[in-house]
């Protein structure tokens, strides 16, 4: 991101917040903070605040720097440590009141001073053991290969190894229809996989030059001669030529991405909306084989969310969303009414009917209930993720939600506002934790609002006066004398000079 304003030869000290969702199951949830800086940190302070027992661990170069258990609150300070491992907190969810019922509701105040109630519903509906997933069977597979310039940073070798694993486990005898994706989709040829041998296909893909822009429009054939069982899209999600995404095909799409510099949010939405999933090949045989085995099998998913009673705003339900783990957030939103009821429907994409439903009743929390602000932040982050799929179209909404909740969005910058004048200049309220500065900001905004209202009133009064003059002018009769006759245009001619086509002539004296 960009830090602004930055004075000449000056410095800025900023605080960046990383907010991630906890994942896990079997009575435990894990939160991981990526801190693989691979450098020595002079002072590092770690603080854990939890309503349940937790275990904190921090990896180092050749040993764990921290591994301690805490009943709920723990603070550790390290000096001159080489940090190149992740910071992990494992929480015993069975003892957590916040997630015991699978519902979190908080009332929090935004930077603008408006209080709203946000909720998050956690996953509590595991896949049934009596219902088998929808398996896509067929001899034809559609493969879309992104060959644009941005893919030069991808780990192509890792992706091709995953392709080989996929051929050996799922495509033993299949036909692969290849499409090359750049500024337009072009046919790449047909390849036959026999006995899991994909060497010819892998060699062909590796030789394709990576150049040009990317557009996802019309990437999937509208009426293929042989409809594929599913599509496999190798791409980084960076659409450089326009936006809007593809017209999704009838068959599901599995997206393969190995590039960290990618739009994983767009790729995930694209895959889940079709009934497929996002695949991140690791390069390790065991994990790649497990992911390859899941390709072609639509994952157990949250299919839809409906509001049965009450009023809900900003529901973050993009459609089909795979269920990854217990205690993950299924859906978030704003609770507008005092009480509301929603129904979540689960099942396998492509099935004839949902396999499970869950009805949740939401109520406004007590006025004395504590609030961390994280539920509102989570809602804002998920909303921004949905809007970021089309950043140009949703530019204004993304800017507003980014400023309101301090979220990095496409095209946004990190504004370091230290003074009242800077906050007023950019129209961004200081954090409410800076109570004195926030109070000054609110007072000045109200004062400016009165001044702007007075100026608007003066402008309106002036417009009324000018309008009345115009009305009076058009209502005034202007009579013409009966003897008036129009005589045409009078042209005055100077006898002492003459004009030629080339310039001004000179008057000459008559001969004597």
Q: Count structural domains, the chain.
A: 4
Do 118 and 108 meet the contact criterion of CB atoms below 8 Å apart? yes
Q: Are residues 78 and 120 in the same domain?
A: no
What pLDDT score was predicted for residue 100?
A: 66
Q: Residue 506: pLDDT above 70? A: no
Q: Are residues 151 and 262 in the same domain?
A: yes
- Beta strand 54-59 with 64-70 is antiparallel
Helix axes 199-207, 156-169, angle to 10 degrees: 160
Mean pLDDT of the chain: 80
Question: Worst-scoring range by mean pLDDT, 39-43, 360-364, 407-411, 506-510?
Answer: 506-510
Q: Residue 218: pLDDT above 70? A: yes
- Considering 386, 412, 438, which residue would you say is the last residue of a domain? 412
Q: What is the mean pLDDT of residues 12-38?
A: 74
What pLDDT score was predicted for residue 124?
A: 75
| CB-facing half-sphere around the CA of 451: CA atoms within 13 A | 6
At 204, is the pLDDT very low, low, confident or very high (cuts 50, 70, 90)?
very high
What pLDDT score was predicted for residue 489?
A: 67
* DSSP structure class, residue 411: T
* Structural domain contains residue 7: no
Burial class (CB in 10 A: 0-12, 13-18, 19+), 310: middle
* Structural domain contains residue 2: no
Q: Residue 1: pLDDT above 80? A: no
Max alpha carbon distance in the chain (Å)? Answer: 129
Q: Residue 123: pLDDT above 70? A: yes
Q: Residue 118: pLDDT above 90? A: yes
- Reported pTM: 0.67
Q: What is the 3-state secondary structure (H, E, C) of 124-174?
A: CCCCCCCCCCCECCCCEEEEEEECCHHHHHCCHHHHHHHHHHHHHHCCCEE
Q: What's the CATH code of the domain at 56?
A: 2.60.40
pLDDT digits 0-9 by tens, 128-150: 777 777 777 778 988 999 989 98
Q: How far is CA 98 from the centre of its chain?
A: 26
pLDDT digits 0-9 by tens, 314-336: 898 767 888 877 667 888 999 99
- Considering 453, 471, 489, which residue would you say is the last residue of a domain? 471
What pLDDT score was predicted for residue 245?
A: 65
Of 44, 66, 45, give the one whose Cα is nearest residue 54.
Answer: 66
Helix or strand or coil: residue 17? coil
What pLDDT score was predicted for residue 89?
A: 85
Q: Are residues 157 and 238 in the same domain?
A: yes
Q: Are residues 156 and 265 in the same domain?
A: yes
Instruction: In whole angstroms, give the CA distance from residue 9 to residue 57.
Output: 38
What pLDDT score was predicted for residue 309?
A: 92
Q: Are residues 174 and 278 in the same domain?
A: yes
Q: Residue 448: pLDDT above 50? A: yes
Q: Are residues 85 and 106 in the same domain?
A: no
103-117, 193-207, 338-352 — most confident range: 193-207
Q: Are residues 278 and 173 in the same domain?
A: yes
Q: Are residues 255 and 384 in the same domain?
A: no
What pLDDT score was predicted for residue 473?
A: 85
Q: Are residues 174 and 106 in the same domain?
A: no
* Structural domain contains residue 356: yes
pLDDT digits 0-9 by tens, 337-389: 999 999 998 888 877 777 888 899 999 988 888 777 888 888 988 888 888 87
pLDDT digits 0-9 by tens, 279-319: 887 666 667 888 888 888 888 888 889 999 999 998 987 67
What pLDDT score was predicted for residue 510?
A: 42
What pLDDT score was predicted for residue 3?
A: 65
Query: Domain range spanning residue 387?
Result: 101-127+300-412
Q: Are residues 163 and 280 in the same domain?
A: yes
Do 73 and 111 meet the contact criterion of CB atoms below 8 Å apart? no
Two structure tokens written together for 186: 């072009």
Q: Are residues 214 and 358 in the same domain?
A: no
At 417, is the pLDDT very low, low, confident or very high (cuts 50, 70, 90)?
confident
- Considering 265, 294, 323, which residue would you say is the last residue of a domain? 294
* Structural domain contains residue 421: yes
* Structural domain contains residue 496: no
Q: Are residues 236 and 304 in the same domain?
A: no
pLDDT digits 0-9 by tens, 231-253: 999 998 887 776 666 677 788 88
% the chain with pLDDT above 90:
9
* N- to C-terminal Cα separation, the chain: 92
Q: What is the mean pLDDT of residues 80-105?
A: 79
* Structural domain contains residue 482: no
What pLDDT score was predicted for residue 208?
A: 92
* Structural domain contains residue 92: yes
* Structural domain contains residue 144: yes
What pLDDT score was predicted for residue 338?
A: 92
Check the CA dihedral 165-170-172-178 and report its sign. negative
pLDDT higher at 324 or 47? 47
Q: What's the CATH code of the domain at 248?
A: 3.40.50.410
């Amino acid at each position: 991101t960009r830090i602004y304003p930055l004075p000449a030869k000056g410095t800025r000290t900023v605080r960046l917040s990383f907010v991630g969702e906890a994942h896990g199951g079997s009575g435990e949830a894990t939160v991981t903070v990526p801190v693989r800086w691979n450098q020595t940190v002079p002072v590092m302070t770690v603080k854990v605040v939890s309503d349940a027992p937790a275990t904190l661990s921090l990896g180092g170069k050749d040993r764990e720097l921290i591994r301690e258990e805490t009943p709920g609150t723990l603070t550790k300070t390290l000096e001159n440590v080489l940090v190149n491992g992740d910071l992990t907190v494992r929480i015993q969810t069975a003892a957590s009141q916040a997630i015991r019922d699978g519902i979190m509701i908080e009332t929090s105040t935004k930077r603008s001073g408006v209080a709203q109630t946000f909720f998050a519903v956690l996953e509590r509906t595991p896949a049934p053991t009596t219902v088998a997933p929808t398996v896509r069977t067929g001899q034809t597979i559609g493969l879309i290969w992104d060959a644009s310039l941005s893919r030069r940073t991808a780990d192509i070798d890792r992706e091709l190894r995953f392709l080989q694993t996929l051929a050996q486990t799922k495509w033993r005898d299949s036909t692969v229809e290849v499409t090359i994706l750049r500024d337009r989709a072009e046919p790449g040829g047909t390849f036959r996989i026999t006995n899991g041998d994909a060497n010819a296909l892998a060699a062909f893909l590796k030789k394709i030059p990576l150049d040009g822009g990317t557009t996802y429009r019309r990437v999937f054939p509208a009426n293929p001669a042989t409809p594929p069982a599913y599509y496999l899209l190798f791409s980084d999600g960076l659409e450089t030529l326009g936006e809007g995404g593809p017209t999704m095909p009838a068959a599901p799409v599995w997206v393969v991405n190995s590039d960290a510099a990618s739009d994983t949010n767009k790729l995930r939405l694209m895959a889940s909306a079709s009934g497929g999933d996002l695949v991140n090949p690791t390069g390790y045989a065991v994990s790649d084989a497990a992911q390859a085995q899941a390709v072609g099998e639509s994952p157990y998913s949250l299919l839809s969310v409906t509001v049965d009673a009450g009023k809900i705003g900003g529901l973050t339900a993009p459609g089909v969303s795979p269920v990854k783990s217990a205690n993950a957030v299924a859906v978030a939103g704003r609770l507008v009414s005092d009480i509301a009821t929603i129904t979540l429907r689960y099942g396998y994409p492509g099935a004839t009917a949902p396999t499970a439903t869950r009805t949740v009743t939401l109520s406004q929390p007590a006025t004395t209930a504590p609030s961390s602000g994280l539920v509102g932040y989570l809602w804002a982050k998920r909303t921004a993720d949905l809007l970021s799929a089309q950043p140009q179209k949703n530019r204004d909404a993304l800017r507003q939600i980014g400023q309101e909740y301090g979220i990095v969005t496409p095209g946004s910058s990190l504004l370091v506002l230290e003074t009242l004048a800077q906050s007023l200049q950019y129209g961004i309220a200081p954090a409410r934790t800076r109570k004195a500065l926030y109070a000054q900001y609110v007072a000045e905004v109200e004062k400016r609002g009165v001044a702007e209202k007075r100026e608007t009133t003066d402008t309106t009064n002036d417009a009324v006066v000018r309008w009345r003059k115009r009305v009076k002018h058009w209502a005034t009769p202007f009579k013409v004398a009966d003897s008036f006759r129009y005589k045409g245009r009078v042209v005055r001619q100077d006898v002492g000079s003459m004009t030629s086509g080339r310039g001004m002539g000179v008057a000459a004296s008559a001969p004597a």
